[in-house]
């Protein structure tokens, strides 16, 4: 009788364990299906949004004053920013051309950009140099004292297309935080990215992916 009772208890315990295990397995299977479904939906939405990434990264001022005190070229690119800025100088009758960059070996990127600008057009306005910037945030922090020193009330920022939205957000928010009333306009220099198929080539994919991450980071923690 005792043996029968023990066998019954053991069987009942095993049955409970099996039911519990099956419930766990069933929950795991349901979780996997839900996770897979959400992953496929999000992947589909992300894929559909690829051709519209330019709306996330690219910004250009729709209206620009007929005259701006300074055209500012942010360091980076492959010369396209400088060329675009030189072409804009006469159009906006700017008093200053400002090159903003960081140290590069025995010189600075701002000096190299200025040298290239002089090759493109010897008849330049006064060229100012800002040599200590290594990020978009550095640019506005280091340029503000220069704006104040030279009584600059309006600027046209020239940078690559993929960098324009973040640049405008950083400059605008920082100047507002500092209580500075300076008109900021943005001009997009060609960046070689085809936004209708940027994910199909490694170089374009790399540029867009990195800038997208920076855009999110700056939106969350900087601007």
Domain boundaries, the chain: 2-52, 55-221
In 99-201, which residue ranges form alpha helices assigned H by DSSP?
A: 109-120, 136-149, 164-177
State residue 25's pLDDT score.
52
Return d(Cα 45, Cα 36) in angstroms, integer: 14
pLDDT (average), residues 102-131: 94
* Domain at 55-221: CATH architecture: 3-Layer(aba) Sandwich (3.40)
pLDDT in tens, 13-44: 555 555 445 555 555 556 555 656 555 554 44
Residue with tokens 């992953």: 39
**What token pair was written down for 13?**
């315990």
- Quote the mean pLDDT of the chain: 84
Identify any residues that bridge with 99 across adjacent strands, giving them in sequence order: 73, 129
Q: For 91-110, b where at least 16 C-beta lie within 10 A, e where not — what string?
A: ebebbbbbbbbbeeeeebbb
Task: Tell me which range, 1-10, 25-34, 160-169, is most confidently predicted by mean pLDDT.
Answer: 160-169
Lowest mean per-residue pLDDT among 78-82, 94-98, 143-147: 78-82
Mean pLDDT comparison of 53-62, 89-98, 132-141, highest-scoring range: 132-141
In the structure encoding, which two tokens stand for residue 70, read together?
């300074």
| CA-wise closest residue to 112 among 129, 133, 137, 95 | 129
Each residue's pLDDT tens digit, 184-210:
999 999 999 999 899 899 999 999 999
Residue 6 has pLDDT above 50, yes or no: no
Cα dihedral 167→165→124→152 (10° resolution): -50
**How far is residue 173 from each of residues 178, 198, 199, measured CA to CA in Å?**
9, 29, 31
């Amino acid at each position: 009788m005792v043996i029968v009772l023990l066998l019954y208890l053991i069987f009942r315990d095993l049955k409970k364990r099996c039911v519990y295990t099956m419930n766990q397995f069933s929950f795991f299977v349901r979780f996997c299906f839900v996770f897979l479904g959400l992953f496929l939906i999000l992947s589909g939405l992300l894929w559909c949004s690829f051709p519209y990434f330019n709306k996330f990264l690219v910004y250009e001022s729709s209206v620009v004053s007929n005259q701006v005190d300074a055209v500012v070229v942010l360091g980076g690119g492959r010369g396209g920013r400088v060329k675009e800025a030189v072409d804009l100088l006469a159009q906006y009758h700017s008093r200053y051309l400002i090159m903003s960059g960081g140290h590069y070996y025995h010189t600075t990127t701002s000096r190299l950009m200025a040298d290239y600008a002089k090759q493109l057009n010897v008849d330049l306005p006064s060229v100012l140099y800002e040599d200590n910037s290594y990020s978009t945030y550095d640019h506005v922090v280091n340029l503000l004292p220069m704006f104040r020193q030279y009584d600059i009330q309006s600027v046209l920022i020239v940078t690559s297309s993929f960098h324009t939205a973040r640049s405008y957000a950083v400059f605008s928010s920082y100047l507002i935080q500092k209580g500075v009333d300076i008109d900021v306009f943005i001009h997009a220099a060609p960046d070689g990215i085809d936004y209708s198929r940027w994910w199909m080539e490694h170089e374009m994919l790399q540029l867009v992916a990195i800038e997208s991450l920076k855009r999110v980071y700056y939106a969350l923690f900087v601007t």
